[in-house]
Amino acid sequence: MTPSARRPGDGHEHPGQWAETSRCRVAGARRFGAFTALEVLAPAITREARPGQFVMVTVPGGGFLLRRPLSIFTARGDRLGLLVEARGPGSERLAAVGVGEALEVAGPLGSAFPAADLRSALLVGGGIGCAPLQFLADALGATGVVVTAAFGFRDARQARATGAFDIARLWVTTEDGSVGRRGMVTDLLAAVDVPPSTTVFCCGPAAMIAAVQRWTATEGLRGYASLEAHMACGVGACHGCVVATTRGALRVCSEGPVFPLDEVVTG
């Protein structure tokens, strides 16, 4: 892995955030339906990474101007895990990379999930939004936190992504009922048995975030959301990923992607 530092003043940073771009070798690639779980050798990134952060990945092969933001799926030893859903030409190329290929990866970037002083956690994910929750589950489980997860997918093909996860207490829903319970993942929340001290962490589509926000408010639970947004630079320079919060318009890539759930404006 050959690092190339983007230092302050080179046009790729904003105050308080910049990241090294490293050339990382692909060490593993497993396919799960529409998803691919990649492992790349990136010790410089895994040493610094915290659950909830992301990386910016250059699509190999040329022809793709913008890097792709990917949540950190796992950080185990010197191996960085990334979960890719093939949605368009760029993500399809990333999902098709093979062992031995090299990827240019910048990170870790963004804010992290608060993971200290917890006893119980509920992780709620929808589709590719489930990706950052494995890293969080690993970190919480290592400190003895009781972790329960509820994931929602469109159908059986998308739900094959669960094969990439290692979370013991995992509930699954699909919209068509082909795997797990029928319905939206938020339909599960009333059925999930968690203590009143539980902290909720969620990532997924805006409608799911809004539903989780309403549920936590009703139940009196504290929560955090990792927001999804289209990103161009990943370091706060372009202001292309601004979202509304109770603290004003903030950038998902730099002030986020993790925000307190009650600060997210969903209306």
Q: Which residues pair with 242 in a beta bridge?
A: 251
For 214-243, the pLDDT digits (tens) are 999 999 999 999 998 777 777 777 877 899
pLDDT at position 6: 34
Give the mean pLDDT of 184-203. Answer: 91
Backbone angles phi and psi of 181, in degrees to 5: -85, 150
- Which residue in 191, 33, 189 sits closest to 200, CA to CA? 189
**Euclidean distance between CA atoms 143 and 205, whole angstroms:** 29
- CA contacts within 13 A on the Cβ side of 176: 7
pTM for the complete prediction?
Answer: 0.90
Signed CA dihedral, 77, 44, 149, 171: sign only: negative
For 133-166, the pLDDT digits (tens) are 999 999 999 999 999 999 999 999 999 999 999 9
Residue 193: which pLDDT band, with cuts at 50, 70 and 90? confident
Domains of the chain: 2-109 (2.40.30.10), 120-263 (3.40.50.80)
Task: Report the percent of the chain where pLDDT is more than 70.
Answer: 93
Q: Which residues of 190-219 are buried (b: 16+ CB within 10 A; e: fewer)?
A: eeeebeeebbbbbbbbeebbbbbbebbeee
pLDDT at position 192: 86
- Which residue in 37, 72, 51 sits closest to 160, CA to CA? 37
What end-to-end distance do the CA atoms of the chain give, in Å? 44
